[in-house]
Amino acid sequence: MSNLPSEPEFEQAYKELAYTLENSTLFEQHPEYRTALKVVSIPERVIQFRVTWEDDAGNLQVNRGYRVQFNSALGPYKGGLRLHPSVNLSILKFLGFEQIFKNALTGLMMGGGKGGADFDPKGKSDAEIRRFCVAFMRELSRHIGADTDVPAGDIGVGGREIGYMFGTYRRDRNRFEGVLTGKGTHWGGSLIRPEATGYGLVYYVTHMLEIAGAGSWEGKRVAISGSGNVAQYAALKCIELGATVVSLSDSKGALVAVDDGFVTVEDIEAIMDLKLKRKSLAEYTPKGNLKYIEGARPWVHVGHVDVALPCATQNEVSKEEAEVLVANGCRFIAEGSNMGCTLEAIEVFENERRTKKGDAIWYAPGKAANCGGVAVSGLEMAQNSQRLSWTKEEVDQKLKDIMKNAFYNGLETAKKYVPMEEGELPSLVAGSNIAGFVKVAQAMYEHGDWW
């Protein structure tokens, strides 16, 4: 029995990784990597701090702030900041742990980290958001830096919050440097960074479709959950490539297409505006055939879809929902969110992959499919180091190349390390986990982090 407090989300992320490593030939070929797994699963450093700020009524408010500096073997700690009432150490450790291997899969020089606070941006005024961000960065700024730790956005943190935090760092530390990514484009931000996670997800799935012989995006029905940054740009890219988007959602309910309805670019633009004001999807009145279902997630309400893209938050696809997606003919599932599927849901998809062969299911975990966001963050760091800005076309092309590499790296690594029966498709979850892990473990070994 462990005497550590239970950390359900972190344990889940660890189990997913460890299970895929155990069920490959990796440890047979390299028994020493068991030691690496033990070492890599403990953060190099965890920072916890108090954030006090003043609300509009002049009252003191207090929150818990965190930064998990998980692993720096491949570069400065890198990963987003999440502002959400559910934030605790278990959630940030799971996110930081995933981030290590995700960042490795981008091929760029970034370690893994994650941070945030249990602050709820919903219902707060713009001034309250600003005062919170300033108070949060007042403390965080002691622990980060362009060559130490480079945070970015995540749930509840977008361009506006990054701006307030960057301003605080600049004033308090008296340094203008690439200490955060997702910055405004006229003060060091990279073009395509806001779009990158959603676009990258769609680029990744393009390779899944291609290798499965399922053709292009043209005419595909796509279920998307979430309505934040990732979902918005994934949906726009799907539409641009000729697919039909049949759902979006938020924590309070889902917007689902009925009677040949579909989500339009106008719907997405209106929802972007709504979300910027921290309003809920329930307040949106669609023009076309879209129905709002209170308290629901989209998966069991969308009927047949070819592709499902969970883009909301962790554990947003259950075993039962996975079974319905499969029964309704969905063959491609790729996570825009981090750990979007429960372990049981992954098992449903992976079983289908193993047993069905030919028309089997392809499931891609977030650490591979959503690495486009942090990849363009890495490109933003590179531009900041050069003090230059690259064109939209240049960044977009690099993003496409990175997503292609992430896909084929996972695929080829699975073929190399995971025993497969005749006709069985390679496991993208196993391949991506092994590829990310081996790269980090090897660098740690060479640095003397384990021996």
- Could you tell me the smallest distance in angstroms from the CB atom of residue 152 to ligand GLU? 3
- Could you tell me the smallest distance in angstroms from the CB atom of residue 203 to ligand GLU? 15
Distances 262 to 30, 32, 230, 335 between C-alpha atoms, Å: 50, 52, 18, 21
Instruction: Quote the CA–CA distance of 188 and 177 in Å, as a whole number.
Output: 9
Contact status, residue 282 vs residue 251, Cβ threshold 8 Å? no
Contact status, residue 90 vs residue 66, Cβ threshold 8 Å? no
Segment near ligand GLU (CB under 6 A); pick from 9-17, 19-27, 60-68, 72-80: 72-80
Instruction: Quote the CA–CA distance of 189 and 386 in Å, as a whole number.
Output: 13
- Nearest residue by C-beta to ligand GLU? 80
Stretch 161-200 residues interacting with ligand GLU (CB under 6 A): 181
Asked about 114 being catalytic, the answer comes back as: yes
Q: Is 373 in the site for ligand GLU (CB under 6 A)?
A: yes
Stretch 308-347 residues interacting with ligand GLU (CB under 6 A): 338
Q: Is 79 in the site for ligand GLU (CB under 6 A)?
A: yes
Q: Which position among 93, 102, 114, 439 bears the catalytic label?
A: 114
Nearest to 404 by CA among 435, 367, 440, 372: 372
Query: Quick one: 257 or 403, whose CB is closer to ligand GLU?
Result: 403
Query: Quick one: 298 or 372, whose CB is closer to ligand GLU?
Result: 372
Nearest to 137 by CA among 88, 72, 90, 67: 67
How many residues in total does the chain contain?
Answer: 451
Query: Quick one: 154 or 161, whose CB is closer to ligand GLU?
Result: 154
Query: Quick one: 12 or 328, whose CB is closer to ligand GLU?
Result: 12
Answer positive or negative: Cα dihedral of 67, 73, 78, 84: negative
- Could you tell me the smallest distance in angstroms from the CB atom of residue 66 to ligand GLU? 14
Token pair, residue 162, equals: 């990054």
Q: Is 374 in the site for ligand GLU (CB under 6 A)?
A: yes
Answer positive or negative: Cα dihedral of 23, 17, 247, 192: negative
Segment near ligand GLU (CB under 6 A); pick from 30-38, 56-64, 78-86, 394-402: 78-86
Q: Out of 9, 16, 128, 154, which residue is the one contacting ligand GLU (CB under 6 A)?
A: 154
What are the φ/ψ torsions at residue 77 (nearest 5 degrees)? Answer: -55, 140
Nearest to 378 by CA among 133, 28, 175, 104: 104
Would you call 145 helix, strand, or coil by DSSP? strand
Query: Quick one: 79 or 298, whose CB is closer to ligand GLU?
Result: 79
Helices then strands (H, E): number in the chain?
15, 12
Query: Quick one: 206 or 338, whose CB is closer to ligand GLU?
Result: 338
- Could you tell me the smallest distance in angstroms from the CB atom of residue 51 to ligand GLU? 19
Instruction: Quote the CA–CA distance of 421 and 281 in Å, as a whole number.
Output: 45
Q: Out of 67, 78, 124, 131, which residue is the one contacting ligand GLU (CB under 6 A)?
A: 78
Instruction: Quote the CA–CA distance of 302 and 308 in Å, as a whole number.
Output: 10
Q: Is 152 in the site for ligand GLU (CB under 6 A)?
A: yes
Segment near ligand GLU (CB under 6 A); pick from 66-74, 298-306, 373-381, 394-402: 373-381
Query: Quick one: 26 or 334, whose CB is closer to ligand GLU?
Result: 334
Radius of gyration of the chain from Cα atoms? 21
Q: Out of 232, 249, 313, 377, which residue is the one contacting ligand GLU (CB under 6 A)?
A: 377
* Positions marked active-site: 114
Q: Which residues bind ligand GLU (CB under 6 A)?
A: 78-80, 152, 154, 181, 338, 373-374, 377
